[in-house]
Amino acid sequence: MPESSDKFLQTISEAVYSSNLNGKAITAAVSGGPDSLAMVHALHRTAALTRIRLTVVHLDHGIREEDSKSDAAFVKDFCNRIGIPCEVGSVDIPRIAKSRKLSIEDAARRERHKFLASTSSKFGSSAVALGHTSDDQVETVLMHVMRGSGLNGLKGMELISTRIMEGTTLNLFRPLLSISRIAVESYCAKARLTPRIDSTNLSAEFTRNSVRLELTPLMERYNPAVRQALIRLSRSASRDLVFLEQATSKAWKASCKVSNGVITINTDSLLALPEALAYRVLKRAAVTIMGTTNNLLMEHVESMMRLSRRPAGRSLDLPSGATVVTGYGELVISESGSNSIPLPALPLKTLLAVPGITEIPGWKIETSFEESPNTYPETRKTLGGSAWLDIGATNSVSVRCRKPGDYFHPSGMQDRKKLQDFMVDSKIPRAWRDRIPLLETERGVAWVVGWRIAQWATPRPNKLPVKVTFDRTTM
């Protein structure tokens, strides 16, 4: 082949090595068009050098009827001629889009992801190769700019990346990303490849096509080198992101805790961060719980930021059913509202060992006889804490959740009141109330754990009280 083709092949083999895919299995997604056909041909030509094990897959989207079937037959025949295993699948994208109320583009993207995940797993592949060129990168960056994307969007696509969609993970490899579409067409001509032409690529009905056919040429009237400029912008954003991701990881460790599918963020630590890092911590938390970036918009992250400054008990719904709830000095993010309550569920009633240690799900409860301090510790609310109680007989001390008709006589007040009213007055969020431990004796509720003890349980001089400590444990 001519020298230019040798350079094309060298770029492909370097991409394989720089992505640590040499010696690995790669599944190439091939539509039959110029980009994917040149890609698989070059991967096949360099396989002796890179030692990759190559397979091909093709998905018939059912959009162009007979043309779609012809594309599938073309890819199958091409692979048979050069000796590459090939698997062809088919789906009815127009029907799926209509039944699920999705756009054709969105439905095709979802079905393609499922097909590629399934087939690459079947072949034991380390990655799926896609035929995106530097021109596709330009279009991607422009589309992200129009959507108001941040640095992640300006970065565009990467040589090697991971995509998560509907709980399925896919490793993507783009060996043509530094190669222009003109270079691809030149390679096809010199290799005597006769790619298929997808007529839908010529329709401005689809957003990406419109960007390629209309917007990019218009921008070139103002800057003939706009494609190169956008590629430089992409690379610059990518460099900055490396630093920001490292800083975000440090901030994450300092402010976030992950347990049982729930992320708790310390709001004091969060709000002390530079705003750029705070936003990134929040986005990472949301993506971790949601399992995908799909449908997560900047406005969601901005709402999370505003929520972090609001009182306990406020909430926000995220896409995919995830929920964000404010606690006391914390944001709790989980897959559902019940998981976001920063308190473990309580058993109906548990007798406590006095003195001794009793453990229930989410709590370690320790009791002893000890003089009360001169200065009472600060209330710890959802974290429990310690209380010194004059509770008389200790053989019937128990912990339970609230029940209808409960009364409580808060310390410092003359009369008792309904427990419900005390919780409302204390601004305890409604969703938390069934999970707040109540320490009870034969006389009644002696301590609303984390909030206040009863007036009648206040320690008296010259009488040794019972010290009770509630510590949170991993559920």
In order, the DSSP letters of 291-305 are SS-TT--HHHHHHHH
| Calpha distance 268→137 (Å, rounded) | 39
Strands (DSSP E) contained in 335-420 are 349-351, 356-360, 363-369, 385-389, 398-400, 407-408, 417-418
284 and 401: one domain?
no
Which residues are paired to 265 by β-bridges?
256, 331
Whether residue 237 lies inside any domain: the answer is: no
Give me the DSSP letters along 279-329.
HHHHHHHHHHHHSS-TT--HHHHHHHHHHTTSPTT-EEE-GGG-EEEE-SS
| Domain extent for 302 | 242-340
Whether residue 233 lies inside any domain: the answer is: no
Whether residue 232 lies inside any domain: the answer is: no
Whether residue 236 lies inside any domain: the answer is: no
311 and 453: one domain?
no
217 and 112: one domain?
yes
309 and 419: one domain?
no
pLDDT of residue 475: 57
Q: Is-contact 269 331, C-beta < 8 A?
A: no
Last residue of a domain, one of 222, 251, 276: 222
196 and 297: one domain?
no
161 and 289: one domain?
no
pLDDT of residue 207: 80
Q: What torsion, rounded to 10 degrees, do the Cα atoms 381, 383, 388, 394 define? A: 110
11 and 69: one domain?
yes
pLDDT of residue 245: 95
Cα–Cα distances (Å) from 95 to 63, 70, 72, 201, 234, in that order, read 10, 20, 19, 20, 36
Specify the CATH number for the domain of residue 41. Answer: 3.40.50.620
| Calpha distance 354→367 (Å, rounded) | 6
125 and 81: one domain?
yes
pLDDT averaged per 10 residues in sequence order, the chain, 475 residues:
76 97 97 95 96 95 80 94 94 88 84 91 95 95 88 92 79 96 95 85 75 92 95 94 95 90 91 96 92 83 94 84 85 74 86 94 93 79 89 86 95 94 88 91 94 93 91 78
Q: Is-contact 123 25, C-beta < 8 A?
A: yes
Q: Give the closest residue to 369 by CA, choosing from 473, 470, 469.
A: 469
Whether residue 41 lies inside any domain: the answer is: yes
Give the 3-state secondary structure of residue 392.
coil
Chain centroid offset of residue 214 CA: 34
8 and 54: one domain?
yes
Instruction: Tell me whether residue 304 is exposed, middle or buried, using C-beta atoms within 10 angstroms of its C-beta: 0 to 12, 13 to 18, 19 or more.
Output: buried
157 and 273: one domain?
no
pLDDT of residue 73: 93
pLDDT of residue 314: 83
pLDDT of residue 166: 65
Last residue of a domain, one of 340, 363, 385: 340
State how many domains the chain has. Answer: 3
207 and 253: one domain?
no
Last residue of a domain, one of 289, 307, 340: 340
pLDDT of residue 92: 87
272 and 410: one domain?
no
Whether residue 12 lies inside any domain: the answer is: yes
Whether residue 228 lies inside any domain: the answer is: no
